[in-house]
Amino acid sequence: MTAITFAARIGQAAGAAALAFAFTCAAPAQAATNIERVVSPQGIEAWLVREPSVPLVAIDFSFRGGSSQVPAAKAGLATLMTDLLDEGAGEFDSRTFHERMESYAISMSFSASRDQINGSLRTLAEHQDIAFELLNLALTKPRFEQPLVERVRSQIMSGLRRGTTNPNELANRSWWNTAFPGHPYAPAVNGTLDTVPGITIEDLKAFRQRMFARDNLKIGIVGNVDAAAAGRIVDRIFGDLPAKADLVAVAQASPQALGRKLTVELDVPQSVVMVGGPGIPRKDPDFIPAYVLNHILGGGSFSSRLYREVREVRGLAYSVYSTIIPLDHAALFVAGTATRSDRADEALQVMRDEIRRMAQTGPTDEELASAKSYLKGSFALRFDTSSKIASQLVQMQVDDLGIDYIIRRNGLVEAVTMDQVKRVAKRMLDGGMLVAMVGRPSAATAAGGNTAGPSADPAAAPAARPVDKK
Amino acid sequence: MQKSKVSVWRQAATSLTAVVIAVSAFVVVLLPGRAPAQTPGPEISHFTLKNGLEVVVIPDHRVPVVTHMVWYRVGSADEPPGVSGIAHFLEHLMFKGTEKNPEGKFSKVLATIGAQENAFTTADYTGYYQRVAKEHLQQVMEFEADRMTGLVLTDANVLPERDVVLEEFNMRVANSPEARLGEQVAAALYLNHPYGRPVIGWKHEIEKLNREDALTFYRRFYTPNNAILVVAGDVSADEVKKFAEATYGKVAKRSEIGPRQRPQEPEPAAVRHVVHADARVTQPSLQRSYLVPSEHQTKPGEAEALDLLAHIVGAGQNSRLYRKLVEERKLAINAGANYSGTTVDATRFSVYATPQGGTSLPDLEGAVDGVLAEVIENGVTEQELTRAKTRLIADTVYAQDNQATMARWYGAALASGYTVEQVKGWPDRVRAVQAEQVRDAARTWLQKQRSVTGYLVKEWPKTEEKKERRS
């Protein structure tokens, strides 16, 4: 199924060292993509895929950290900091910086999540040196000038204001606030209308210094560059960073308030339902079985059980899904849908029934075989552009999967047995879950009076009443 | 949440309703427009089968996967009056099965072999695609060819799907005041052309769509001589031709397709404003659309001048609108513009802005007018023009990294009546545009009587009457 060649090329130039794995993606796609492990002269590791046929260079990177490193009172700091990196850096003010990006057709973006600060650079090969300089400046010498801070802050505040009447946003916020009380995972990554105004320039500078270092950094490069050149590129961009990040310990957590149902009243025609509980950590031996299981229940095809029962058979929703979210310090299973308010309770019931049915009886043999086949067959679709490959190179490092994961992965999926899936179904899906429902779910059932009354402030969601024990 | 530097209203006249999103964050976003670079792009093949099906092959041999798309030259603007939304509803129903492959067998097979699939509808076209390992290409083509004419519909599978579409309407429009304003601006802009109808349809008409409506529309427009097959990826033109003849080639033409003649717009005469008030609005905003020609209707170079004008006026932080309104005058949180010329009929040049703090929408609108007046009066600088050209042309190089993007560009263009040569030649035509042409395009087309301006507000401004009562 797979062919591996192993080659070590050491000291090609300037102390750059590279280990190369040549592999083919497992059947059915006979993809050939070489991943090389590059160690730069300054000792920074990156994973490289050499791609000579497209005249661009794609670099993705990730710093472990993210919004879970931010005190609750400063929620939104990670987003404000990342949004300001390209607003002036080093000798270039914001305007000059953006002019240079456009003049050389360079794209650069940054984002924060709960566990990471992620970044991405796309440049034409002919302008790569300018791109590397700009990215280096953005990471090491962002200006954080007052007028720019205020401008970007106002943009974030505008988005937060919009979010106060957006049912998806409200469902998410009330769910996370209630599931992780007192934990850094509780606040939304981009903060709240209360916290964002209080973030200072000193906060921004200090947070950048804490987060951006060489020991919490993962890099993926795709382009027409060899290992030696990749080593030089890595040092050019990241070599100035301090050796060590200054991260605070984040407690392991699991979602709380299981069995409760939060209701946020909002006058919208379509209610949003979010259901969640504990998932399976990425390093857990049950992760791949859980991934296969989730695919059958509500993953990415038009044949999942939730899709069939909620959407196709009953016409209750356009969108319905389930997913497993393995964070660094918690693992989640989450399912959701959006449905007309007078049938929201029905949609929730159907989802619960399907989750329970899966927990109790597991999938059929045919479903399991089909899911494994799908997941193997579609794996190559994650690698068909340089951009996607760069992103995968980083994700595999963030998840600590090993440079040969890409050749092992389909074998891991293939090895999943019915017994494993059934056991994981019980483990993951059989307990109580926390439900957040936003909209007017009581509109149609007001006579029955079975839902919580208005709870205007989603921030107060923990106070919403527990209704409807599973 | 991302910094809101990007347009909230990225849809133009061909506002897309990507469809059949099952799960995950898999959303199709198609913007008609950018053509890929001429060199050193892939060798694109283009031929037509005996039954009239056009075929485009875009090689990309890096990874053994293919993107297979079938586009029909029919969209919401081709719907008869009274059944708005039928093009999109039919697109959903195309997943229900055929006589040969009943009950969603196609999707079941795709879900086993590991194919991603979806479909989308705009005002001008309807498309279906699968992304799959290359050895499954012929099988996928067999299925897609089968549903070109073999669809079987029953009330049992049609009626629940209509509820699904109504939920899609709720998600995209009813739950979003911004989208509702966009719908109203389009409806006010187009006085005669069906581009004024939402692609998803008007709710009261969606609610009444039925099996017969869908089949009537299907029989009229779904025929090989009204379709384009685009295959991008690790495959040769010879292979595609062989497979296509063995599959699509056997589908008989079942209706004659005449030229696409929709009712055309009269010359616009009046400045129009619409106001949408909704209690859910926590962030007011404004958007404006000008009625402007598509690439079919412009004189040579004019559509490309409009592309550059939109970029210089409103793309990103170097744009005139952002610099003047956001950076310098601090009247806006965000501002921008866009134009998509690859439509069949007259399209839109759109401008949007979100006010900062206490800026009123009329004041913000006045400031937008000031920025546009400056361009109309004095044109754009050589520096701006060079930067814009670099960025737009580079986008076509970046596109070569993504076979699905390439397939969409060619498919959208051909389905809207453009040729492979026009798509290929776009970078050269952009390069040739002179600054005066950009200024002239602004002068000709950014006239206020050609436009509708929409305000999104929480509540109607207090009226004079109320003030009088208080006093």
> Which residues, numbered 429 to 458 in chain A, qualify as contacts with chain B under a Cβ-Cβ cut-off of 8 Å?
none
The per-residue pLDDT of chain B, averaged, comes to 90
Distance CA A302, CA A34 (A): 33
* C-beta atoms of B4 and A158 within 8 A: yes
* C-beta atoms of B164 and A373 within 8 A: no
Could you read off the pLDDT of B215-252 as tens digits, one per residue? 999 999 999 999 999 999 999 999 999 999 999 999 99
Which of A167, A307, A374 lies nearest to residue B22, judging by beta carbons?
A307
- Residue A295 C-alpha, separation from nearest chain B C-alpha, in angstroms: 10
Tokens at A397, concatenated: 């490092």
The per-residue pLDDT of chain A, averaged, comes to 88
> Which residues, numbered 190 to 219 in chain B, qualify as contacts with chain A under a Cβ-Cβ cut-off of 8 Å?
none
Q: What is the DSSP letter of A300?
A: S
B115 shares contact with chain A (CB less than 8 Å): yes
A24 shares contact with chain B (CB less than 8 Å): no
Work out how many CB contacts closer than 8 A connect A with B. Answer: 238
Helix B435-445 × helix B302-314 angle, to 10°: 90
* C-beta atoms of A158 and B163 within 8 A: no
* C-beta atoms of A374 and B40 within 8 A: no
A124 shares contact with chain B (CB less than 8 Å): yes
- pLDDT tens digit at each of 470 positions of chain A: 222 222 222 223 333 333 333 333 333 333 447 899 999 999 999 999 999 988 999 999 999 999 999 999 999 999 999 999 999 999 999 999 999 999 999 999 999 999 999 999 999 999 999 999 999 999 999 999 999 999 999 999 999 999 999 999 999 999 999 999 999 999 999 999 999 999 999 999 999 999 999 999 999 999 999 999 999 999 999 999 999 999 999 999 999 999 999 999 999 999 999 999 999 999 999 999 999 999 999 997 788 999 999 999 999 999 999 999 999 999 999 999 999 999 999 999 999 999 999 999 999 999 999 999 999 999 999 999 999 999 999 999 999 999 999 999 999 999 999 999 999 999 999 999 999 999 986 654 433 333 333 333 333 333 222 222 22
Maximum Cα interatomic distance, chain A, rounded to a whole number of Å: 77
Which H or E run contains A129?
helix A128-140
**Which is the catalytic residue, given B91, B161, B304, B384?**
B91
Could you read off the pLDDT of B432-455 as tens digits, one per residue? 999 999 999 999 999 999 999 999
Could you read off the pLDDT of B48-68 as tens digits, one per residue? 999 999 999 999 999 999 999
- Residue A367 C-alpha, separation from nearest chain B C-alpha, in angstroms: 9
Which of B5, B22, B395 lies nearest to residue A302, judging by beta carbons?
B22
A415-426 as b/e: b if 16+ CB within 10 A: ebeeebbbebbe
B271 shares contact with chain A (CB less than 8 Å): no
Q: Give the pLDDT band (50/70/90) at residue B470.
A: very low
Tell me how far CA of residue A128 lies from CA of A54, A86, A124, A386, A389, in angstroms.
14, 17, 6, 15, 18
Q: Give the pLDDT band (50/70/90) at residue B371.
A: very high
B449 shares contact with chain A (CB less than 8 Å): no
- Check residues B290 and A24 and name the one with the higher pLDDT: B290
Q: Give the pLDDT band (50/70/90) at residue B31.
A: very low
Provide the whole-model pTM.
Answer: 0.90
pLDDT at B464: 52
* C-beta atoms of A307 and B26 within 8 A: no
pLDDT at A301: 76
* C-beta atoms of A105 and B132 within 8 A: no
Q: Which residue has the tokens 């004024």?
A: B196
Omega within 30 of 0 (cis) for the link into B40: yes
pLDDT exceeds 90 at position B16: no
Residue A387 is which amino acid? S
Which of B63, B113, B386 lies nearest to residue A384, judging by beta carbons?
B63
pLDDT at B285: 98
* C-beta atoms of A301 and B110 within 8 A: yes
Tokens at B434, concatenated: 């002179």
Closest chain B CA to residue A369: B112
Distance CA A399, CA A224 (A): 26
Partner residues linked to A262 by β-bridges? A436
pLDDT at A445: 45
B1 shares contact with chain A (CB less than 8 Å): yes
Could you read off the pLDDT of B303-329 as tens digits, one per residue? 999 999 999 999 999 999 999 999 999
Closest chain B CA to residue A339: B167
Omega within 30 of 0 (cis) for the link into A28: yes
* C-beta atoms of A28 and B117 within 8 A: no
- Residue B30 C-alpha, separation from nearest chain A C-alpha, in angstroms: 18
- Which residues in chain A touch residue B165, judged by CB atoms under 8 angstroms apart? 318
Q: Give the pLDDT band (50/70/90) at residue B461.
A: confident
A48 shares contact with chain B (CB less than 8 Å): no
Tell me whether strands A270-278 and A107-112 are parallel, antiparallel or unpaired. Answer: unpaired
B276 shares contact with chain A (CB less than 8 Å): no
pLDDT at A440: 85
Which of A28, A55, A323 lies nearest to residue B135, judging by beta carbons?
A28
Mean pLDDT throughout B118-128?
Answer: 98
A241, A61 Cβ separation under 8 angstroms: no
pLDDT at B170: 96
Return the closest-CA partner of residue B169 out of B155, B181, B158, B179: B179
A379, A409 Cβ separation under 8 angstroms: yes
pLDDT at B103: 87
Determine whether B99 is an active site residue: no
pLDDT at A441: 65
